[in-house]
């Protein structure tokens, strides 16, 4: 068996095309969604992410502001900025790029974002609405995974699903979204006994544990859909061979950079057992930003005319 690759780039493009079309329709009515992205400090990865989000907004016709603050910014200063963005009617979504510098109280800042503008879906109010099934922004990565499964006609209704990882950002909301679509869901974590045996019962596995190549053939029921949320660096040739075999792209990346990127799933072994598999990169990653755009449009519709189910 060779797993079918679930290309997140293709699904992300379809989502962005739909958003772009709807944004254009609202523009004819004088409405334009707006997103503010706040970056504190000079973390290179965060710079890339925020620039990419601003560029995608421009491509789709969404108004965006990228606000850069120095590394020394205090919690109080950031809270004042968030309060200002909360009050501005043309801003529908506020995204505070994580991680924040150590002197900032991250929880206080994220909770200060108005729930209606919390396009990341992390606010306690929106998590509560996720639990109860009420309309609210959904966390982008789990929501993107649902889109990936549904647009590839992978049945969720009645499926056994195992989510490995219990974070507020991915694991918990992922489990809730699957449950709402009538999957039977098990949440696993570092204390789960006999984890491979539990995972082998799943028709759908979502791996979000942050450890390179953990999910190998022993975790996977033949034919299962395996969704890899992890992003990890492989820096030794021994790991390279174990995880990717003779994959030429991965070997070329290793020779060029001194590392290559894999997820939480062993891609070589999973490809031999799974029915469906997301690649890293190019699987879940592109969906996250596409869903951020979709959430921003939905926030505008809920706040400024129009409706959103």
Residues in contact with 194: Cβ distance below 8 Å, sequence separation at least 6, in sequence order:
none
How is 30-45 classified by DSSP, letter by letter?
Answer: T---EEEEEEES--HH
Q: What CA–CA distance (Å, rounded) separates 250 from 58?
A: 32
Active site residue 103: no
Instruction: Give the Cα separation of 46 and 39 in Å (integer).
Output: 7
Q: Of the listed 16, 53, 221, 250, which one is catalytic? A: 53
List 120, 203, 228, 264, catalytic entry: 120
40-46: list long-range contacts, CB under 8 Å, 24+ apart: 40/69, 40/70, 40/71, 40/73, 40/78, 40/96, 40/97, 40/100, 40/101, 40/104, 41/69, 41/70, 41/71, 41/73, 41/100, 41/101, 42/71, 43/99, 46/97, 46/98, 46/99
CB crowding 120-156: b at 16 or more within 10 Å, else e = bbbbeebbebbeeeeebbbbbbbbbbbbbbeeeebeb
**Is position 120 annotated as part of the catalytic site?**
yes
53 is catalytic: yes
Length of the chain: 309
Catalytic residue among 66, 92, 97, 203: 97
In which residue are the tokens 């204390």 written? 191
Instruction: Give catalytic residues, as residue numbers.
Output: 53, 97, 120
């Amino acid at each position: 068996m060779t797993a079918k690759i679930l290309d997140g780039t293709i699904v992300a493009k379809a989502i962005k095309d739909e958003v772009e079309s709807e944004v254009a329709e609202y523009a004819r009515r004088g409405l334009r969604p707006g997103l503010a992205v706040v970056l504190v400090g000079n973390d290179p990865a965060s710079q890339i992410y925020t620039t990419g989000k601003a560029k995608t907004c421009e491509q789709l016709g969404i108004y965006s502001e990228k606000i850069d603050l120095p590394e020394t910014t205090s919690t109080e200063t950031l809270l004042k900025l968030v309060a200002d963005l909360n009050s501005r009617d043309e801003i529908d979504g506020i995204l505070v790029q994580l991680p924040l510098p150590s002197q900032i109280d991250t929880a206080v800042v994220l909770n200060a974002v108005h729930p209606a503008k919390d396009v990341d879906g992390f606010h306690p109010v929106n998590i509560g609405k996720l639990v109860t099934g009420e309309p609210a922004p959904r966390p982008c990565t789990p929501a993107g995974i649902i889109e990936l499964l549904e647009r590839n006609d992978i049945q969720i209704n009645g499926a056994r699903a195992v989510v490995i990882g219990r974070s507020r950002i991915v694991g918990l909301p992922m489990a809730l979204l699957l449950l709402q679509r009538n999957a039977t869901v098990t949440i696993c974590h570092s204390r789960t006994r006999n984890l491979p045996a539990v995972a082998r019962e799943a028709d759908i596995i979502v791996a979000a544990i942050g450890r390179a190549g953990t999910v190998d053939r022993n975790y996977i029921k033949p034919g299962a859909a395996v969704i890899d949320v992890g992003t990890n660096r492989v820096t030794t040739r021994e790991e390279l061979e174990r995880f990717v075999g003779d994959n030429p792209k991965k070997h070329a990346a290793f020779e060029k950079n001194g590392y290559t990127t894999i997820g939480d799933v062993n891609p070589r072994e999973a490809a031999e057992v799974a029915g469906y598999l997301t690649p890293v990169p190019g699987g879940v990653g592109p969906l996250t930003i596409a869903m951020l755009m979709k959430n921003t449009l939905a926030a505008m519709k809920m706040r400024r005319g129009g409706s959103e189910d």
